[in-house]
Amino acid sequence: MGFEADALRLRRAIRDLVAVSTVPAVWAGREPRAIAAGLVDVLVNALYLDFAFVRLCDPTGGAAVEIAREAHGRHFMNGCSNISPSTAGCR
């Protein structure tokens, strides 16, 4: 890989790192479902993942929040419901 390609990869990595570091401020005061959805979107986009699954457990014993996302244009054969029944409606 040449110098230009390395520099481009480094710039993208730094941009993604800065974006991820600002996310907690955006989540302050939001509902757990919104936080989980934001986190899974950041993971898929910043790490170039095909798929991500986030589960947030309520420390007070309430219901867990589960969110699954596939990268744009990626579709898994049996859908997200194979991971957890509650993710059947993943997008």
pLDDT band at 86 (very low <50, low <70, confident <90, very high): low
Of 65, 18, 46, 91, nearest to 81 by C-alpha is 91
| Per-residue pLDDT at 74 exceeds 70 | no
| Per-residue pLDDT at 57 exceeds 70 | yes
State the amino acid at position 82 in one-letter form. Answer: N
Q: What are phi and psi of 90, to 5 degrees?
A: -65, 155
Angle value at C-alpha 83, between 82 and 84, nearest 5 degrees = 95
> Beta-carbon neighbour count of residue 68 at 10 Å?
25
First to last CA, the chain: 35
| pLDDT score at 89 | 46
Angle value at C-alpha 29, between 23 and 30, nearest 5 degrees = 70
Cα separation, 55 vs 32, in Å, equals 10
| pLDDT score at 91 | 43
Average pLDDT of the residues in 54-74: 84
